[in-house]
Structure 1
């Protein structure tokens, strides 16, 4: 997939960070912070580009991927706070509390076009799924919500697994029952979110397909 992005350099203290954002907003995609269940609603374009952005993040260890989602068309369903999404390798050491300062320092940026490698992403996702069956696997997605932003901290392989889930949701979502009438369809969930100690309801982020109105424009594949 070809992604059209915008890259910026932002400095906090002695450190400089590379921040990459979609050049065009994901207008019909939204995210509600998990409390404990979050909801990510997207149309085919949004879910497909999220697949590409997670794949890009998987192989960009020194890059912060910022996906603004709060300024799109407000969804008619879901509860909780609308948030942006930030993807960061766990080795980068970004603290959520530093993000507002980094975000304020972003200005302009330069165009960037990249291509993702779907075959490589699928191989690394399969590797993660195989390892995830073991009791000692700790390759998980750490997460935090701060400053109206949901942060995901992970490794190459777990980001690759998330990318494949978004790709399947984008491909199969338009075929689900009821979507032509504007209903959303639950397609998947984000993998391996770290759970809080003490039990309680597990933290989840549900991935749902939903076409955007007016629904008369929408046709299932093959029709």
Structure 2
């Protein structure tokens, strides 16, 4: 899988930061704060590229992977007027120990960046990864996501392993969403979840991920 990105570098005082963004805007992608959980609506292209960025976060422990989408229009009929907060997303390795309170200043200093194309393993390899689901629920498990919210941005902090293991959710949406045939009226479109029962969320809120092909212009 080839993924076009832009790489941005900036400095605050003595600290240097590397930020990775998708080269093209994720036009049909939104992340919505529902208070108790989060909803993400994606079309096929956005789901495929976010899956790639999720895997890139696993192999880029010294970088912040930024997915700008808080200003996007939502899917038709899904976003009520007022009272809905849309968020950007930042993926980062826990070893980076980045303070979200610095993000607004870092974000404001980013220029156009330099283009680059990275080659990632295909999604089929991620789907076949052997995951020890029982071990995830052990008290010693450190491969967990943690979330912070700052400057209209959700920070997903985790290990390389938890990013690798969960990228499949987005590839599932890209692969199965367009041809999905509803089997129940309560589930008209293909969806999946980063769920607390999976043993990957730690103290983080659940994220519902849903395919949408009808978007407001």
The interval holding the TM-score normalised by the smaller chain is 0.7 to 0.9
Is the Cα–Cα contact under 8 Å of residues 147 and 203 in structure 2 kept in the other structure? no
In structure 1, what is the equivalent of residue 175 of structure 2?
171
In structure 2, what is the equivalent of residue 195 of structure 1?
203
Is the Cα–Cα contact under 8 Å of residues 22 and 67 in structure 2 kept in the other structure? yes
Shift of 1:78: 4.7
* RMSD of aligned Cα (Å): 2.2
Is the Cα–Cα contact under 8 Å of residues 128 and 158 in structure 1 kept in the other structure? no
TM-score, reference length from structure 1: 0.83
The one of 185, 189, 209 aligned to 2:211:
209
The one of 161, 167, 178 aligned to 2:165:
161
Shift of 1:36: 1.2
Deviations 1:181-223 (A, max 9, x none): xx86252112522227xxxxxx211010111349xxxxxxxxx
What CA distance in whole angstroms lies between the structure 1 residues aligned with 2:63 and 2:133? 24
**Greater Cα offset, 74-83 or 107-116:** 74-83
Is the Cα–Cα contact under 8 Å of residues 33 and 145 in structure 1 kept in the other structure? no
Runs of at least 5 residues in structure 1 that lack an aligned partner in the other structure: 197-202, 215-223
In structure 2, what is the equivalent of residue 106 of structure 1?
110
Is the Cα–Cα contact under 8 Å of residues 51 and 164 in structure 1 kept in the other structure? yes
What CA distance in whole angstroms lies between the structure 2 residues aligned with 1:34 and 1:167? 24
Runs of at least 5 residues in structure 2 that lack an aligned partner in the other structure: none
What CA distance in whole angstroms lies between the structure 2 residues aligned with 1:10 and 1:164? 31
TM-score, reference length from structure 2: 0.85
Hey, which of these two has a bigger chunk of helix by percent?
1
User: May I ask how many residue pairs the two structures share in their alignment?
Assistant: 203
Distance 1:135 1:116, change over 3 A: same
Deviations 1:50-70 (A, max 9, x none): 110001111111111000012
What CA distance in whole angstroms lies between the structure 1 residues aligned with 2:158 and 2:93? 5
